[in-house]
């Protein structure tokens, strides 16, 4: 474990309270991004994630920052004695118990935008992987086999791309698609007036998009209304031989229905950067805990494992965001979020504080 300790003690000159700031999951090269927070505070930068095994070592933290591999449920958060801010280094906050934070007046900040072009580019990386059989072609030539048998792909020009969600990432995907000469239809629960004319696409209802798209790509958040929005019924409405791309959130797609659609040939292929049970799949040790504790859906877990082994499914490890530029934007915004909170001017507030919208960092 790497641990870099800043200024010790919590009381400085003139009795000013020194905040204890713990940044989890910090890689060595990321440390400099948080150095500015050390002035007047106690700063701890640690490589490990926040979980049941590590929380008690840092339970006196005032501010914590985590990435996507830390656990932020009420069991973990409730073991902190004086926690005031959770600064997640992600856009999504579905891994944080926001109700608990609100009850305890713990503010939650996020990074609302860092990987718009990054995720959009990854989306097309998956599309091109499928349309040009890139993985199979590379594997074959590495074995010294230069035959073209079974590698024939398809053009993107003239194909219809269905974009579910026209937020910032969805819009960037549309721009890229138009550059490829694709026709684009899009669905959004709140269509943006004039956006279709500006970007050259057509808004459609959800069922029309499913039935008319050669490739469907998902760009929606994980909320109750989007959970399993791509289910058995949705797959029935798709074109035979369609392609599904998901770089949004794993639970937007129902894994068992996806596995069945691929097995039956309804879908020709899928490109996925997310899976519903991906944290469990990452750690084999967690699999046994899942079975015994029933913290996760075992059927979904098994469906995800089946997807990993299908040759027409291309899965990346939740890495769509992971470019040098995007990670630097995450770090800079997170450091700014913490500094703003310390000034008593919170930014990028994503949850917490039911009654009080703002609270300074000073301690009575």
Q: One of 20, 89, 122, 318 is an active-site residue; which one?
A: 318
Q: Where are the beta strands (DSSP E) in 239-333?
A: 242-246, 267-272, 313-315
Which H, E and C letters describe 115-184, residue by residue? CHHHHHHHHHHHHHHHHCCHHHHHHHHHCCCCCCCCCCCCCCCCCEEEEECCCHHHHHHHHHHHHCCCEE
Q: Judge whether 82 counts as a catalytic residue.
A: no
Q: Are 242 and 215 in contact (CB under 8 A)?
A: yes
Q: Are 22 and 44 in contact (CB under 8 A)?
A: yes
**What separation, in Å, do the N-terminal and C-terminal C-alpha atoms of the chain show?**
34
Q: Both tokens of residue 77?
A: 């958060």
Q: One of 20, 249, 277, 329 is an active-site residue; which one?
A: 249
d(CA 187, CA 12): 55
Cα angle value 71/73/78 (rounded, 5°): 110
Q: Judge whether 278 counts as a catalytic residue.
A: yes
Q: Judge whether 228 counts as a catalytic residue.
A: no
d(CA 71, CA 349): 20
Q: One of 278, 286, 347, 359 is an active-site residue; which one?
A: 278
Active site residues: 249, 278, 318
């Amino acid at each position: 474990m790497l641990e870099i300790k800043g200024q010790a003690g919590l009381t400085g000159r003139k009795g000013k309270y020194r905040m204890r700031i713990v940044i989890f999951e910090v890689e060595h090269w990321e440390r400099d991004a948080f150095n500015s927070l050390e002035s007047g505070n106690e700063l701890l930068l640690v490589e490990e994630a926040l979980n049941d095994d590590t929380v008690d070592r840092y339970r006196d933290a005032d501010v914590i920052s985590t990435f996507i591999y830390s656990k932020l449920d009420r069991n973990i958060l409730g073991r902190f004695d004086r926690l005031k801010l959770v600064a997640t280094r992600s856009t999504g906050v579905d891994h944080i118990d926001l109700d608990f934070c609100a009850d305890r007046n713990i503010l939650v900040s996020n990074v609302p935008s860092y990987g718009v072009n990054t995720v959009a580019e990854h989306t097309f990386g998956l599309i091109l992987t499928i349309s040009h059989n890139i993985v199979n072609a590379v594997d074959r030539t590495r074995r010294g086999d230069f035959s073209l048998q079974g590698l024939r792909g398809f053009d993107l020009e003239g194909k219809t791309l269905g974009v579910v969600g026209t937020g910032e990432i969805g819009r960037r995907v549309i721009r890229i698609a138009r550059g490829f000469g694709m026709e684009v239809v899009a669905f959004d629960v709140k269509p943006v007036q004039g956006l279709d004319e500006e970007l050259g696409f057509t808004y459609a209802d959800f069922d029309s998009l499913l039935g008319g798209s050669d490739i469907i790509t998902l760009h929606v958040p994980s909320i109750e209304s989007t959970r399993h929005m791509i289910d058995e019924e949705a797959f029935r409405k798709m074109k035979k031989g369609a392609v599904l791309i998901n770089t949004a959130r794993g639970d937007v797609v129902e894994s068992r229905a996806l596995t069945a659609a691929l097995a039956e040939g309804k879908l020709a292929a899928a490109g996925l950067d997310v899976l519903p049970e991906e944290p469990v799949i990452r750690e084999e040790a967690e699999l046994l805990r899942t079975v015994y504790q029933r913290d996760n859906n075992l059927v979904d877990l098994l469906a995800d494992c089946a997807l990993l082994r299908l040759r027409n499914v291309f899965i990346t490890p939740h890495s769509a965001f992971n470019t040098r530029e995007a990670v630097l934007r995450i770090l800079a915004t997170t450091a700014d979020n913490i500094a703003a909170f310390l000034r008593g001017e919170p930014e990028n507030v994503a949850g917490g504080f039911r009654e009080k919208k703002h609270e300074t960092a000073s301690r009575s």
